[in-house]
Each structure stands twice: as C-alpha cells, then as structure tokens.
Amino acid sequence: MLRTALRQSSRLLTSSMRPAVFTGVRVFPSMSVAPQMAFGGRFYSSGGPPSKADIEGRIVELLKGFDKIADPSKISATSHFSNDLGLDSLDTVEVVMAIEEEFSVEIPDKEADAIQSVGQAVDYIASQPGAV
Amino acid sequence: MSVIHAYRALLRAAQAAFQGDSKLLLASHREIRMRFERNLDSSSADDKEEKVKHAFEVAKFLKQNLVQAEKIDGQENFKLRLRDETERGDNESIKTPLKGRVGKLEKCS
C-alpha cells in the first residue's frame, strides 16, 4: 500500500509541476496565515477567550494576507467574501479554513457553508468556547 | 454544496497527509484547486456527481492510505508517521502465507 501511495503522490507532484499549471502563485491557506497565527496565538491567548473586537481584527488581518483579494482596501468588519471582496466559492472555503486554523477550531460543513462574510465569521468564532 | 464539501474534504485530507511538508502542501493545493476549477467549468450534471465522488475517494485515500516517512540519520531505515486515521490491516494473510500457493511455487523451480 505504501508503495502505491508513494507512486500516487509522486504522480500528483509531477503532474502539478507542469509549467502550464503555474498560472499564478497560490498560497496555501495554512502558509499564508502562519506568521500571523504564531504572533496572534501568543498575543491573544494569554487572557482567556478573544473578544469580538480581537476576533474581528485578526480576521481582517488574515484576509489582508490572502493574495486572491484584488482590492485589500475593501476589507472591513462588514465585508462579504464574494460580493465585496470578489472571492469565489473555492476561495471562500480556503478563507474559512484559514480562520479555523487561526482560532484553532474545526468548523463542521454545515456551519462553514453559512459563513460568507467577515461578520458571520466573527459571530461564529465568538460563539465557540474553544476558540483561542 | 457537495462540490464545496468535496473541496474542503480534499484540502483537509491533504493538510493531514502532507503535514509539515511545505513543498507537497503547496503542490497538492495547487493541483486540487486547478482540477476543481477545470471541472467546475466543463462538467455536465452527471459527470459532476461522478467527479465529486472521485474527490471524496481521493480524500479518503490521502487520509487512510498515505503515510509520511523520514529517513533516520545514518541508517538505512525510515521512520513512518502513522496517524490515527491510517488504515491498519489485520495481517491475516501473512499468518498463513503459503496456503494454496505451495504447488505453484514448486512448479516454478
């Protein structure tokens, strides 16, 4: 099984290395937010659960690091991911996953589907006792 | 929504399977993204269902049947990083290896 797995993964890598694939550098969510996460984690987690203002600030910061947003000046506490920031449905999945990582929570599919704006994300995270 | 769920499942699976391996994380993410974009444009409804199913199967494979291995310094051995979700067989077939195969083996020699 391992051998098959290795073969498969190397095939995956080889095919993704074809030049045509590189239409633009796409940053993996976990990598694009990593520096902020390391900083935010230390900075915010010392004094209990984050406040709504903290959550909002961290989500806005995280979005600023997301390279798909054409106009970062439109990022605010009320931005809608697709209507205001021009993100498509796949981008929205990536943003929500980056938010999960930022606050160390796992959002179930149903709730994740409902998060389409900064405000909804803030409300969801604020409702999670495990968020840090 | 199932397309979105498949996309999320695949990204999660890749993150688990290639943890700490930035090269593969990036490559797998690119590949997943590219294939979804391509299929979202071109798939008919029937086809889409088939492709969503395939995506979930790949996610399952990444989670259960792929492990990372790291060479141990100065040795010929690799250390495997098994995860909770890694599939473990019961190895029943190994306990009775030659049953029913002895005849064939003899013919070969």
Catalogue all structural domains in chain A, each as residue range(s) with its CATH number: 52-127 (1.10.1200.10)
Pairing of strands B68-71, B78-81: antiparallel
Select the more confidently predicted residue: B98 or A121.
Answer: A121
What number is the average pLDDT over the span A115-124?
97
CA distance B92 to B1: 41
Q: Which domain holds residue B47?
A: 3-87
Interface test mutation site (partner A, options B2, B4, B23, B41, max chain A beta carbons within 10 A):
B4
Complex ipTM value? 0.77
Q: Which residue has the higher pLDDT, A5 or A108?
A: A108
CA atoms within 13 A on the CB side of A68: 22
How high is the pLDDT of residue B46? 79
**pLDDT higher than threshold 70 for residue A6:** no
Any domain includes B93: no
Whole-model pTM: value is 0.72
Verify whether the Cβ–Cβ distance B25 to A16 is below 8 Å.
no
B38's tokens: 């391509």
pLDDT tens, position by position, A13-41: 444 333 333 333 444 454 444 444 444 44
Number of structural domains found in chain B: 1
Q: Which residues of A are catalytic?
A: 88
Q: Which of A5, A29, A90 sits opposite B66 (nearest CB)?
A: A5
C-beta atoms surrounding A67 within 10 Å: 11
Mean of the per-residue pLDDT values of chain B: 87
